Amino acid sequence: MIIIYHNETKVVALRNADSFEIEKNGHLPIAAFMALLANDFPDEILVWCHLSLKEQLNISEIEKLFHHKKLLFSYNPFCSSYLDTNIGYIDESPFARVNSTVTFPTWQMSSWVGGIHSAVFLALKNEIPCEKNFDYFLCSLAKLSMPKGLLCYSEPNLLKQHPATVNPAKKNTFILFRFVKQHYKTRWVFLLLLNFLLYERKFPVFPMIISLLYKNRNTNTINLDGIIVQSSSAVIASGTIDVIIPTIGRSNYLYDVLKDFAEQVKLPRKIIIVEQNPSEASETELDYVTKEKWPFDIQHIFTHQSGACNARNLALNQTQSEWVFLADDDNRFTPNLLVDIFKLIQQFGSPVVTVSYPQKNEIKRYTKVIQWPTFGAGNSIVRRDLLEKVKFNMALEFGYGEDGDFGMQLRNTGTDVLYLPEPEILHLKAPVGGFRTNPVLQWQNDVIQPKPSPTIMLYKILHTTVEQRLGYKTILFFKYYQHQKIKNPFRYYDQFQKQWKQSIFWANKLKKEA
């Protein structure tokens, strides 16, 4: 491990690299200096630290954090990030809003303190220019490399204590527009300008025009596959696993799922089925659960209360094994599914994974193990100790967003969600799926119908910044226009505003009721 101390503009001291001449290379930008270090020390972790935080650097924890090579950590101990919250106007992802109290997935890196393995630097040396501005370089590296498999985190454990001082950084609209132009599609530059005009009554046209002079950096040539990943983190002990499956009116599909589990090379210890039927006179349709012999225990819960959130919470309360597979009742998979998933869990040291979940003939979009912006409630495996801290939000019952909300709850405990492109779980999308009970929603008789759905709005309120919500509002305004009857743009705008306010009203009501 080599530690680089800097004063924001240049390297001023090194630790554990006495043979490297600072004087000879001290004129270089920090990123270029690190590139030379990586070339001379290809098997080392490169750590950077602002000189003012030298005494706070938590050196003893750093090697523990790097449990494999394909990792990037940094931490900003101050209240605002290098790219201010206005990035939320064009970025809805959870990675744009950092929870600085826990280990949190993000591309928003900081020059204050951080670390990266030399192997990553060497793999990217011809892909990302070594900017003079170290913060810009780090954010660019992370933003471009996350979709290629680099795992990037804000990590508070890099410091022993967090200084109680104000971040001296100021908002820079020129940098913001430049970053958007270089890392997003060009149309987002114009949308950013529009959002500034709509919500801040500002018109930064000059920063926008200057940004158009920069070349977009998104490229398909970044390749980190040569970096071997083998985590030293022991996330698996017994390796036992329980499965939870909510179901309603899909007895034939569920039977096939149970048969697939029965053929697994690695068998689950128990499968917990929560069967729902709101009719008070109804009885179970799953007679095969008791009539047939299964190579695992089946705990069958029958309830007249419908709703996937309630069903999954009931099932989670009954789990006992080290791991829990959140499955669905219209999945199909091969006998090696659990074996292959556990191999990757151990390889990446990840306690939460969401597995590729394509429909038939669907083209797979993601082919790398990456940090996943959402969560799959029908195709994920989670270590059970983490489930003691989270549950499915009943305020989102019969709506949308419960999967994403559950994933955000996990992230806010300091746990990342990794996406596995292989193996695959086939999602049949059974035709009798969806909300088969037609629940009566509180707002369905309102004269002004909320837009978006109050459950989606609730998710936005709970897990996004103000700028992210407003950016979403702008996009929704344009997308919804072609699907509604009012074609007069002024009347439509007035109606949309009323629907948006109605959505906020019901979202807050759901939040209080839950």
Closest-CA residue to 98 (of 154, 54, 176, 41)? 154
Q: How far is CA 97 from CA 91, 94, 156, 424, 482, in A?
A: 9, 6, 15, 30, 31
Closest-CA residue to 324 (of 376, 381, 409, 239)? 381
> Running DSSP on this structure, what letter comes out for residue 359?
P
Dihedral of CA 383/384/386/392: which sign? positive
pLDDT reading at 168 higher than 60: no
Tell me the residue type at 353: V
Pick one of 3.30.110, 3.90.550, 3.40.1620, 2.40.50 as the CATH number of 2-170: 3.90.550
Question: What mean pLDDT do residues 437-443 have?
Answer: 78
Tell me the residue type at 438: N
199 alpha carbon, distance to own chain's centre: 27
pLDDT reading at 458 higher than 80: yes
Residue 291: which residues within 8 A CB-CB, separation 6 or more? Answer: none
Dihedral of CA 286/291/294/300: which sign? positive
366 alpha carbon, distance to own chain's centre: 14
What pTM did the predictor assign?
0.94
List, for residues 22-73, the tens digit of each pLDDT value: 877 778 999 999 999 999 999 999 999 999 999 999 999 999 999 999 999 9
Least confident piece of the model among 383-392, 437-446, 453-462, 471-480: 437-446
Q: How far is CA 35 from CA 38, 125, 432, in A?
A: 5, 7, 56
Q: Could you give the percent of the chain with pLDDT greater than 90?
A: 85
Give me the residue spans of the domains in the chain: 2-170, 241-427, 454-513
Q: Are 128 and 84 in contact (CB under 8 A)?
A: no
Question: What mean pLDDT do residues 435-439 have?
Answer: 60
Closest-CA residue to 107 (of 50, 148, 51)? 148
Q: Which residues of 447-457 are buried (b: 16+ CB within 10 A; e: fewer)?
A: eeebbbbbbbb
Residue 153: which residues within 8 A CB-CB, separation 6 or more? Answer: 71, 72, 73, 74, 103, 104, 105, 106, 416
**CA pair distance 297, 150, nearest whole angstrom:** 39
Q: How confident is the model at residue 197 (pLDDT cuts 50, 70, 90)?
A: very high
Q: Are 153 and 416 in contact (CB under 8 A)?
A: yes
Q: What is the 3-state secondary structure (H, E, C) of 323-347?
A: EEEEECCCEECCCCHHHHHHHHHHH
Question: What mean pLDDT do residues 212-224 have?
Answer: 93
Q: How far is CA 474 from CA 206, 463, 495, in A?
A: 22, 18, 14
Q: Are 247 and 329 in contact (CB under 8 A)?
A: yes
Closest-CA residue to 274 (of 293, 254, 260)? 254
SS3 512: helix
Level-2 CATH architecture, domain 241-427: Alpha-Beta Complex (3.90)
Q: How confident is the model at residue 372 (pLDDT cuts 50, 70, 90)?
A: very high
Long-range contacts of 187-193 (CB under 8 A, 24+ apart): 188/90, 191/89, 191/90, 191/471, 191/474, 191/475, 192/86, 192/89, 192/90
Q: CATH topology of 2-170 equal to that of 241-427?
A: yes
pLDDT reading at 79 higher than 60: yes
Least confident piece of the model among 242-256, 433-447, 494-508: 433-447
Question: What mean pLDDT do residues 330-348 have?
Answer: 97
Mean pLDDT (the chain, rounded): 93
